[in-house]
Amino acid sequence: MRNTYLWFVQLVTGVLIAVLLSIHMVLMHLDAILGFFGINVNDPTSWHSMIQRSNQAIWASLYIALLVVVLYHALNGLRNIILELTPSVRTERIVTWAIIVFGIIVFVWSSYVPIALLSA
């Protein structure tokens, strides 16, 4: 039952990555398409535009949500690949905890920038 739940969360995170990354790609890199629909985006990759977005909570939330989803999806996939090679229960426990600790460290380190820019 536990593996079924983890696999379901893996599938859900795959869909969420597609949705959140699509939002990012459209708003940041497809300004010509947005202009076609009447949405005026003035050079979204410029420094000034990036600083304006970084002061909005919605953008920080979007990037942190994308970070959480990608980290879970990638690290759970890596865990599953490693556990296919090692059938030992003890090894499974060590690998699982090592990946959890690594994921927490990467999350704290990576979420610092959006939070610091939001509070600036």
Q: How far is CA 93 from the centre of its chain?
A: 25
Examine the pLDDT at 49 and tell me if it is beyond 70.
yes
Question: Residue 60: is it exposed, middle or buried by C-beta count within 10 angstroms (0-12/13-18/19+)?
Answer: buried
Taking the domain 2-119, which CATH number applies? 1.20.1300
* Per-residue pLDDT, 72: 94
Domain ranges of the chain: 2-119
Calculate mean pLDDT across residues 36-61: 75
Select the more confidently predicted residue: 62 or 41: 62
Examine the pLDDT at 51 and tell me if it is beyond 70.
yes
Calculate mean pLDDT across residues 27-56: 72
pTM above 0.85, yes or no: no
pLDDT tens-digit map of 60-107: 888 899 999 999 999 999 999 998 887 788 988 999 999 999 999 999
Question: Residue 74: is it exposed, middle or buried by C-beta count within 10 angstroms (0-12/13-18/19+)?
Answer: middle
Please, which contacts does 22-27 make with residues 24 or more away whose CB atoms are closer than 8 Å? 23/62, 24/62, 24/66
Please, are residues 28 and 49 in contact by the beta-carbon 8 Å criterion? no
